[in-house]
Amino acid sequence: MDSRIHESPAMRRKKTADAPPIEIDAKGKTPLGMPPDRFLRQYWQKHPLLVRNAFPGYVSPVTPEDLAGLACEETALSRIVTHDWDTDSWTLRTGPFSEAEFPNMPDRDWTLLVQDVDKWDPDIRELLHHFTFLPQWRFDDIMISFAATGGSVGAHIDQYDVFLLQGDGQRRWLIDARSNPSETYRDDVALKLLREFHPSHDWVLHPGDMLYLPPGVPHHGIAVNPCLTISVGLRAPSSSELIGDYLDTLILDADERVRYHDEDLEIPKDPFEIDAAAMARAIEALNAIRINDPDRLGDWFGSFITTYRNASAILPYAESQSPVEIEQALRSGAILQRHPWSRTAWRRNKRGASLFCNGASFSLPITDARQLAAAEQIHQAGYAKLSDHGRNALFALIEAGHYQIQEADG
């Protein structure tokens, strides 16, 4: 077993000698300002990185008014955090909010945060195309925050990777990039805020600047003026979440005929002792679960990770269409558009491959699984490349609501 899974991010940063530069200027080359393999080797889950001009001239496609409108939707995940500097008290409210309350919000010291904006806005979702150097199933969502002057959510630590792109206005970011930072939390607020925070770096980000933070780096963002910040966050399920979900799967599939048994039982020296022979039998019963079966484990993980923290449930369409109707529509120039809440991934196995979509799985040839996992849109040409197995999986995905036919214009 890799001993690193027991180490904190701060411990891993401490072990990395000769830390690379923490601030660079991309100068319009690439959002990372360097080849992706260098970023992964030197920074990913190791060191923070501030990239000036990651997206030069960037203009957020979402305005503060757009964000406020989205925060009023029933199915949007939204919060408002307010800070009283005089008492150092924090207030957290969760949406949906009323449109009428935003014009009456104060001029200072509050922040609106809305999760999953990439599921609602295709222009925001386009940002993910700049991060194809990372496994796409690792992405959680794109959150956008609007902060009035002085607005903040306090000094805190995230246990996942995040890219913080400044979309509008200026935000001051303070981070503690040193090893072994303080991780004690206040017990007097509803937010998980650090009791102590000692920043090692202090920057002001402008539109197009981007800050990458690996897990475990204390940070604190404060709006210099009214501003928008776009947070591209990645998934990091905890060990308890992984174990709990996998054990639930094992329990559902468990064969009730496999039980603890002791046909070799001998008269015990002490009838109240759980002796070594009893423990060996218990281990034998547990081994029957075959927790080390790579295909079974892989199929569970694919289903889990494409279901983990889904934005919302996808409902089947009320009126289903037959394969013949779908094929006819594609021949006429229509496209199949994937639902923005659909999450896909695939993996190789002994049978060929498994395609995963929001927890469902399909056994397919590798070429089909690879194509469908990546296909946000399917045209006639793409459909023609699918095997019969791939087409059957596609029809099932359409029936479940993961793809919708968009007719050709005119």
Q: pLDDT digits over 34-55, tens only? A: 999 999 999 999 999 999 999 9
Q: Tell me the β-bridge partners of 90.
A: 83
**pTM (two decimals):** 0.89
For 148, how many CA atoms within 13 A lie in the half-sphere containing its CB?
15
CA torsion sign for 199, 201, 207, 209 is negative
Closest CA to 401 of 330, 342, 335, 323: 342
User: Measured between alpha carbons, how far is 168 from 366 in angstroms, rounded to an integer?
Assistant: 43
Average pLDDT on 367-383 reads 97
Average pLDDT on 158-183 reads 95
User: Measured between alpha carbons, how far is 291 from 273 in angstroms, rounded to an integer?
Assistant: 28
Query: For residue 365, which phi and psi values (nearest 5 degrees)?
Result: -65, 155
Least confident of 100-104, 217-221, 317-321: 317-321
User: Average per-residue pLDDT in the chain?
Assistant: 91
Average pLDDT on 307-320 reads 81
Comparison of pLDDT for 281 and 319, the residue scoring more = 281
Alpha helices in 306-340 (DSSP H): 323-331
Per-residue model confidence (pLDDT) at position 295: 84
Instruction: Please say if the pLDDT value at position 91 is more than 80.
Output: yes
Instruction: Please say if the pLDDT value at position 7 is more than 70.
Output: no
Domains assigned to the chain: 3-234 (2.60.120.650), 239-293 (no CATH), 323-406 (3.40.366.30)
Per-residue model confidence (pLDDT) at position 269: 93
Tell me the pLDDT band of 1, cut-offs 50, 70 and 90.
Answer: very low
Instruction: Please say if the pLDDT value at position 6 is more than 60.
Output: no
Cβ 303 vs Cβ 343: under 8 Å: no
Per-residue model confidence (pLDDT) at position 409: 64
Q: What is the distance, to the nearest Å, from the Cα of residue 346 to the centroid of all Cα atoms in its chain? A: 17
Tell me the pLDDT band of 317, cut-offs 50, 70 and 90.
Answer: confident
Per-residue model confidence (pLDDT) at position 4: 45
Average pLDDT on 347-366 reads 95
